[in-house]
Amino acid sequence: MNTEKALSQIHSSLKEGAELRLKVGHDCGRAIVAAAEVMVRSLRSGGKLLFFGNGGSAADAQHLAAEFVGRFVLERRGLPALALTTDSSVLTAVGNDYGFESVFSRQIEALGAPGDVAIGISSSGKSPNVIAAVKEARKKNLQTIGLAGRDGGELAKSVDIPITVACSNTALVQECHMAIGHLLCELVENDWLARQTT
């Protein structure tokens, strides 16, 4: 491996990612705040957060649900959040009987309730099963948030609050989605604890 070339590639990739994150802060900051406010309202009224996505976005869904149930940074009680990507029996049963497009919408039908928040994650904005789930969530009067990439795709058009990372590089979109997820954790956690002490 050419060390100098590799170092140049590392610097270039990190610079591109940093610039995109700053752009996301500028372009999506208000949407991120709006999403955090919806999540806080839901949790305070006894609702829960339902995260879902495919592949790397499935891993993000699990990661973020864990941050809410456990903790992000501050000590507070566990907050109700579920990743709809983790139950292999449900995923394979629904996928086998109804098709892969239904693996999340069927769980929204079974587990979602008015006042909950459905958070769909798709780096393309085009994942059929994610879009089907947010449509089911809206039918059931859940609030919907979408983390999308590229031009937002159908996901951005289907949710109450779209947060779109306008970039065609999937890896960079996924990095920004996790940064956005951590910001949501931080905003919700800070608000939750601030109200506990007032």
Going from the N-terminus, what domains does the chain have, and what CATH number goes with each? 20-196 (3.40.50.10490)
As a whole number of angstroms, the distance between CA 147 and CA 159 comes to: 10
Cα distances from 142 to residues 10, 18, 113, 125, 132, in angstroms, run 42, 33, 7, 19, 14
- Is residue 198's pLDDT more than 70? no
The continuous run of DSSP H or E covering 120 comes out as: strand 117-122
User: What was the pLDDT predicted at 193?
Assistant: 81
As a whole number of angstroms, the distance between CA 71 and CA 101 comes to: 32
Residue in this structure with the two tokens 């789930």, named with its chain if needed: 133
As a whole number of angstroms, the distance between CA 2 and CA 166 comes to: 32
- Confirm if 48 and 81 have CB atoms less than 8 A apart: yes
Q: 1 vs 36, which has greater pLDDT?
A: 36
- Confirm if 110 and 118 have CB atoms less than 8 A apart: no
Give residue 115's pLDDT band: very low, low, confident or very high (50, 70, 90): very high
User: What was the pLDDT predicted at 195?
Assistant: 76
- Confirm if 53 and 122 have CB atoms less than 8 A apart: yes
Give residue 197's pLDDT band: very low, low, confident or very high (50, 70, 90): low
Name residue 169's beta-bridge partners: none
